[in-house]
Structure 1
Amino acid sequence: MSDHGFFQITQKLFLRDGNKLLVMRDKKSGHGDLPGGRMNDDEFFDDWMKSVYREIEEELGKNVRIQVEPKPIFIHKHRVNEGNHPCIIVAYHAKLVSGEIQISDEHDYMNWVSVSDYDPSELFSEYMLEAVNVYLKEYA
Structure 2
Amino acid sequence: MSKHGFFQITQKLFLRDGNLLLVLRDQKSGHGDLPGGRMNEDEFFDEWTNSISREINEELGPNIKIDVNPVPIFVHKHRVNDGNHPCIIIAYDAKLIDGKVELSDEHDFMEWVDIKTFDPKKLFSEYMLDAVQLYLNQYA
What's the TM-score once normalised by structure 1's chain length?
A: 0.99
SS of the residue aligned with 1:95?
strand
Q: Return the offset for 1:59.
A: 0.2
SS of the residue aligned with 1:76?
strand
CA deviations on 1:21-69 (whole Å, 9 max, x unpaired) are: 0000000000000000000000000000000000000000000001000
Structure-2 residue corresponding to 1:94 = 94
Q: Return the offset for 1:139.
A: 0.9
Q: Return the offset for 1:2.
A: 1.7
> Where does 1:99-118 land on structure 2 (aligned, <5 Å)?
99-118=99-118
Equivalent position amino acid for 1:129 in 2:
L
CA distance in 2, matches of 1:39, 1:83: 15
> Where does 1:1-140 land on structure 2 (aligned, <5 Å)?
1-140=1-140
Count of residues in Structure 1 that have an aligned counterpart in Structure 2: 140
Q: Which runs of 5+ in 1 are unaligned?
A: none
SS of the residue aligned with 1:83?
coil
Q: Return the offset for 1:132.
A: 0.1
SS of the residue aligned with 2:108?
strand
- Runs of 4+ residues over 6 Å off in structure 1: none
CA distance in 1, matches of 2:42, 2:66: 23
Equivalent position amino acid for 1:18 in 2:
G
Equivalent position amino acid for 2:125 in 1:
S
Q: Which runs of 5+ in 2 are unaligned?
A: none
Compute the RMSD of aligned alpha carbons. 0.4
SS of the residue aligned with 1:84?
coil
Identity %: 71
